[in-house]
Amino acid sequence: MYFIIGIYGSRDRRIKASYYLFLYTLVSSILMFLAILFLYFKVGTTNLQILINANVLTVLEERICWFAFFLSFAVKMPLIPFHIWLPEAHCEAPTAGSVILAGILLKLGGYGFIRFSLPLFPEASSFFSPFVFTICLFGIFYASLTTLQQVDLKKIIAYSSVGHMGIVTIGIFSMNIPGLLGSFLLMISHGIVSGALFLLVGLLYERHHTRVVIYYSGLLHTMPLFSVFFIIFTLGNIGLPGTSSFVGEFLVLVGCFGVNTWVALISTSGMFLGAAYSLWLCNRILFGNLKLSSVSSFRDLTKEEFILVFPFAFLTFYFGLFPSILINILKPSILLLNI
């Protein structure tokens, strides 16, 4: 990603964005590496199964190691206030880089929490869960309100990703089967929906060479196929019933409600803000009068572009209408965590 952004980025700030990505990842990963070295010298191995069953850490040592791991994974999610690199990286990355970033790279943080933090440090994870919930709730509201102020299409989607990853983290640290299952499903759905939105924005940028929202209006009249797909993924981003995000968000809220009712209620209200900025964006660029003064020509999706985007739309509805396919695969893995 460092080279994809730094070499193939779209604007002059791409070097700064690639360094942001590199430095944030490096500094946080060094802390986790030091914690891994400490575990090695304490237990004598880096075998994960042995470390999980060793139970040789004191309460203080476990909490310090948990925090070192947490900082590393929080940068990758990213959680507030470790998110600064993400909007910059998304804005400067080429379309393919943004899709990889949204679809794969952001999921490493969630994977790390589930695979390492919870099994290795169960007491510390339980102890710090109120702290994590607080960060996530703040992140959901901060990302939503910040998104409403953005004018760059990529930044709008990037900040919405910060909010969604906050919901995922709440589900993970609920530390029960519905919460973890919802986090899995929401990460998969986010990779599909957010990746598709970045792809559509990239196709729009290739045509008109701008991502500023105020230059677009009334695209529904001249780009109907593009507009249909944009509406589908906007509804998926909101978590409309029947789309893949709805099942994940619902299960996260069910899991969180069993642990902390107030966190579940506050995060639900944060989701309404997510619906607000998503629908507002959709309304601003698809409906209204055409702005011929800023955009001189319009061209709808080509056959190749339709073939590229259609699988994302199919999976958005398929996993929304038939979530049991993913649930049956994921549930045995969650049960093996013994959380």
Put simply, whether the predicted model's pTM sits higher than 0.75 gets the answer yes
pLDDT 10s digits, 234-273: 988 888 888 888 888 888 888 888 888 888 888 887 778 8
pLDDT of residue 293: 59
In this prediction, residue 338 has a pLDDT band, given cuts at 50, 70 and 90, of low
pLDDT of 294 > 60? The answer is: no
pLDDT 10s digits, 11-39: 677 888 888 888 888 888 898 999 999 98
Rounded average pLDDT over 274-292: 80
Q: State percent of the chain over pLDDT 90.
A: 5
Least confident range of 1-10, 69-78, 196-205? 1-10
pLDDT 10s digits, 95-150: 888 888 888 888 888 888 988 888 888 888 888 888 989 888 888 888 888 887 77
pLDDT of 67 > 60? The answer is: yes
In this prediction, residue 303 has a pLDDT band, given cuts at 50, 70 and 90, of confident
CB atoms near residue 143 (< 10 Å): 25
pLDDT of 288 > 80? The answer is: no
pLDDT of 289 > 70? The answer is: yes
pLDDT of 305 > 90? The answer is: no
Cα separation, 41 vs 123, in Å, equals 21
pLDDT of 226 > 80? The answer is: yes
In this prediction, residue 297 has a pLDDT band, given cuts at 50, 70 and 90, of low
In this prediction, residue 160 has a pLDDT band, given cuts at 50, 70 and 90, of confident
